[in-house]
Amino acid sequence: MAHLDFIQPVHQSTRRDYLSRVLAGNKAEFAAIAKKFDREYWDGNRNTGYGGYTYDGRWKTVAERLAKHYGLKSGSRVLDIGCGKGFLLKEFVDLIPGIEVLGVDISEYAIQQAHPDVKKYVSVGRAEKLPFPDASIDLVLSINTLHNLRLPELETALREIERVGRAGKYIVMDGYRNEQEKVNLMYWQLTCECFFTPEEWEWLFQKCVYTGDYSLIYFS
């Protein structure tokens, strides 16, 4: 298990006004709407989610770095848990001819709106019950998804990732290292159920016998 950061270019490309999200209205109501993971979360108002999640190529660099590190090639199987509209999978398809991509997401809306290049490879599903055989995936990914699960579901999901992965595994969650980052995260987040310090995340990984790699997003 190693801490590897492939996600910062995407994370840092987004400007965030933490205080405005709290002062914009009823944040509890915004969060309740966001947790439906429907149109309002992906393509509605910024207060309830992305404010419009469209393909812009920002995941290309991430795909390139992941492919290089994990040695992906034609015939490799990549699974993205919490794939959303499949933009990262689209980059893999463009980058590596012959790669096999798969994606699951709990959002029916996101799957319906998936990028045309990968729409046939993605489906509605949950991280806690992956419909894939043991050791059948070369690279299992879950980026900004697992922290949306409650702790019992999170433990099950980590064990599922370990079960289906036969080689690389890489997950990204929200975390904090100090009180300022914790406050910023709480101001900004809409859907998080679990967010911990690095030491707490590592404890959980060991408890769940997760052997893959990980990165944490900090809201500085």
Per-residue pLDDT of the chain (220 residues; tens, 9 = 90+): 789 999 876 766 567 777 777 777 799 999 999 999 999 999 999 999 999 999 999 999 999 999 999 999 999 999 999 999 999 999 999 999 999 999 999 999 999 999 999 999 999 999 999 999 999 999 999 999 999 999 999 999 999 999 999 999 999 999 999 999 999 999 999 999 999 999 999 999 999 999 999 999 999 8
CA-CA distance, 27 to 201, in Å (whole number)? 26
**What CATH code is carried by the domain that includes residue 126?**
3.40.50.150
CA-CA distance, 100 to 77, in Å (whole number)? 5
Residue 1 lies in a domain: no
Residue 3 lies in a domain: no
CA-CA distance, 42 to 54, in Å (whole number)? 9
Residue 85 lies in a domain: yes
Looking at the chain, the number of H-run helices and the number of E-run strands are 10, 6
CA-CA distance, 49 to 37, in Å (whole number)? 9
Number of structural domains (the chain) is 1
State the residue range of the domain holding 70. Answer: 8-217
pTM: 0.94
Note whether 165 and 140 are within 8 A (CB).
yes
Task: Count the Cβ atoms, other than its own, within 10 Å of residue 154.
Answer: 20
Residue 89 lies in a domain: yes
Residue 106 lies in a domain: yes
Note whether 150 and 194 are within 8 A (CB).
yes
Residue 184 lies in a domain: yes
Residue 73 lies in a domain: yes
Residue 2 lies in a domain: no
